[in-house]
Structure 1
Amino acid sequence: MGLAYVHRMNAHEESPLLSVIDGVALTDFRPADESSRTPLIFVHGGLHGSWQWDSTQRWFADAGRRSISLDWFAHGGSRQLDASEWLRRSILDVREEIGVAVAQCASPPVLIGHSMGGLASLAYAATHPSRIAGLVLLAPVVPERFAGAPVELPIDVDQPWGPPPLDIAAHLFFDGAPAAEHEAIYAQLQAESPTAVWEATRWTATVDVDAITVPVLVITGDKDELTPVEIVSSLAEGIGAELVILPGVGHGLPFDQSWIDQCARIDSWASKILNEVS
């Protein structure tokens, strides 16, 4: 997708290892040389798939980190669900797929989630704190404890939601990407569980955030209309996380032109909190 994507492809010659384990499609990027750096697990947002992390994973492979991204069930190459199960599937259910990815790591990884994937990652950290080394939340959907005003998207709970038309999708999900990339990104979006969209817009999911014991980094943009900076900041304060607010940035952090700076910040933070030797 676009020049940044081509650049990462040229910069890193290794192809990812693709596998399906327990019904979960995994994309595993490994550095060209052996490295003892802590691995990363990437969890995509609603309507998206592991493809959203391609450039990000290539950057981290070049930086010497192994990373694994996953497709939620009913997304990408993962196991499909029958309609009745999928329509009722909660964001919190994605903990199952996260657990499969985490199990592929020899040591606890840093878990990184975007949007709905941020909420799923937060929930996983609350229920399995000993299995991860750290948590990074990018423009996360927040649990009900930190709820703000509802995002009034129309939702029929008996019908798949979206994707909305290209102009609306671009505004909501990838406004920071170069305009030339919008159609390519949009072509990869898919419809989403209306239950998950309801949780993400009405802030109804319950997570015991007091059970989180790992270090947390939260990154969000001050122009985000889906997960407004006020409620994300409240979540960060409530869980004692380090908070980074990016000026002029919307919801689609992995697609924003600041994505390389985000990667560098995450890499530096992880090295510091894990006492990694450069």
Structure 2
Amino acid sequence: MRDYAKNRPEHTGKYIGENDLFLEIFHGQGGPGQSGRAPLLFVHGAFTGSWMWSKYIPHFISAGWSSYCINLRGHYKSRSVDFTKILFEDYLEDIRLVISEIVEECGAPPIVIGFSMGGILSQKLAENVEIAGLVLIDSSICKEVHAEVPYRDLALRMPGLVVPAPARDEQISADETREDIEFQRKYLSMESAKAFSAFSFHFGAEGISIEGEKITCPSLVICAVNDESDEHRGRATARHIGGEYLGLPGATHTGLLVGQRYDKAVSRIMVWLARFDGR
């Protein structure tokens, strides 16, 4: 198995806050006009950590973007916590703390890139925390989008005290090789049931309400599209926050980050990021 996390560019890491959140820092390769760029903050999804961005990071570093990868409390190399007690709001507080750390270090708020659970967390933060931009990659949807384009025929899974890591028993997916899946299987871990119960409609949640009009920064929504409803939900999310939209047919949820076509999402983000040059 190829461990993509061990092939990432040289970087530093530090623990911050009372929960010892492990923050990884990748310094962009310098070039003309790049010193004034906003930093990027990557926010992972459920069950994962900064390792999930292993294929993405080299592209942004090579293009000169300094990048910070958070590990929410209890995830990857952050200190272990009691997941039976962790709330959605606790993860929000983790991201607020890291944004404050970045602003203090860089003198400017970051562009936040959130995946899945990290996407709904990032939307909620963007209502009242200053950020330079927002990118959502197959984000968990908000209450308002679900009301417009609801999931149909949900087979509700009521969580126990914690949600176990996905088994990923399959050998391949539509856009992931055996190696891609084995990489994830190595690192996937349990997740907070209370956090899931706040935002996941598959776990019976009422959903997280997002006041889209409060999100005033430039935004981009990227979605894996496998049917018409995926497309509608993605476009509805983009409309709700006033953002641009890209749907990628045939992509899978995790494949957008670690699959064989992940570069399609990276390329679109790079084009979108060009607006921040020269600011």
- How would you bin the TM-score normalised by the shorter chain? 0.7 to 0.9
2:246 counterpart of 1:251: no
Q: Equivalents in 1 of 2:227, 2:42: separation in Å?
A: 21
Given that 1:224 and 1:249 are in contact with CA atoms closer than 8 Å, whether structure 2 keeps it comes out as no
CA-to-aligned-CA distance 1:3-39 (integer Å, 9 cap, x gap) = 9x49x94xx7x51111111121101101233642221
Residues 36-77 of structure 1: CA deviation (Å, up to 9, x unaligned): 222100000011111101221121111111000111111112
8 Å CA contact 1:39, 1:65 repeated in 2? yes
Contact residue 102 and residue 108 of structure 1 kept, 8 A: yes
Match of 1:98 among 88, 95, 98: 95
Q: State how 1:184-195 maps to structure 2 within 5 Å.
A: 184-195=183-194
- Cα distance in 2 between the residues matched to 1:193 and 1:50: 17
1:256 & 1:267 partners in 2: Cα distance?
18
- Corresponding position of 1:19: 14
How far apart, CA to CA, are the structure 2 residues paired with 1:153 and 1:46?
A: 18
CA contact (8 A) 1:176 1:256 kept: yes
Aligned to 2:209: 206
How far 1:203 sits from its partner (Å)? 5.2
Contact 2:135–2:219 (Cα < 8 Å) also in 1: yes
Q: Which runs of 5+ in 2 are unaligned?
A: none
Whether the aligned pair in 1 keeps the contact of 2:83 and 2:162 (CA below 8 Å) is no
Q: 1:44 to 1:170 in 2, by over 3 A?
A: farther
Q: Distance in 2 between matches of 1:127 and 1:224?
A: 33
Q: Is the 8 A contact 1:224 1:250 kept in 2?
A: no
Q: Give the equivalent residue in structure 2 for 1:126.
A: 127
The two structures have a TM-score, normalised by structure 2, of 0.84
| 144 and 168 in structure 1: CA distance in 2 versus 1, 3 angstrom threshold | farther
Instruction: Report deviation, 1:224.
Output: 7.7
2:16–2:22 CA contact under 8 A, matched in 1: yes
Query: Which residue in the other structure is 1:78 paired with?
Result: 78
- Deviation larger for 197-206 or 47-56: 197-206
CA apart distance, 1:212 = 0.7
Q: Match of 1:239?
A: 241
Q: 1:203 to 1:47 in 2, by over 3 A?
A: farther
Trace 1:33-112 onto structure 2 (pairs within 5 A): 33=30, 35-36=34-35, 37-86=37-86, 89-90=87-88, 92-103=89-100, 104=102, 105-112=106-113
- Distance in 2 separating the partners of 1:51 and 1:19: 15
5+ residue gaps, structure 1, are none
* Superposition deviation, residue 240 in structure 1: 1.5
Does the 8 Å CA contact 1:224/1:251 hold for their aligned counterparts? Answer: no
In 2: Cα distance, 1:217 partner to 1:169 partner: 32
* Contact residue 68 and residue 101 of structure 1 kept, 8 A: no
In structure 1, distance between residues paired with 2:219 and 2:39: 16
Partners of 1:169 and 1:98 in 2: CA distance: 34
Q: Is the partner of 2:238 in helix, strand or coil?
A: helix
In 2, the alpha carbon distance for the partners of 1:269 and 1:219 equals 11
RMSD value over aligned CA atoms? Answer: 2.6
Q: Secondary structure in 2 aligned to 1:164?
A: coil
Judge conservation of contact 2:29–2:65 (CA < 8 Å) in 1. Answer: no
Q: Which residue matches 2:143?
A: 144
The question of whether the paired residues in 2 share the 8 Å contact of 1:135 and 1:214 is answered with: yes
TM value normalised by structure 1: 0.84
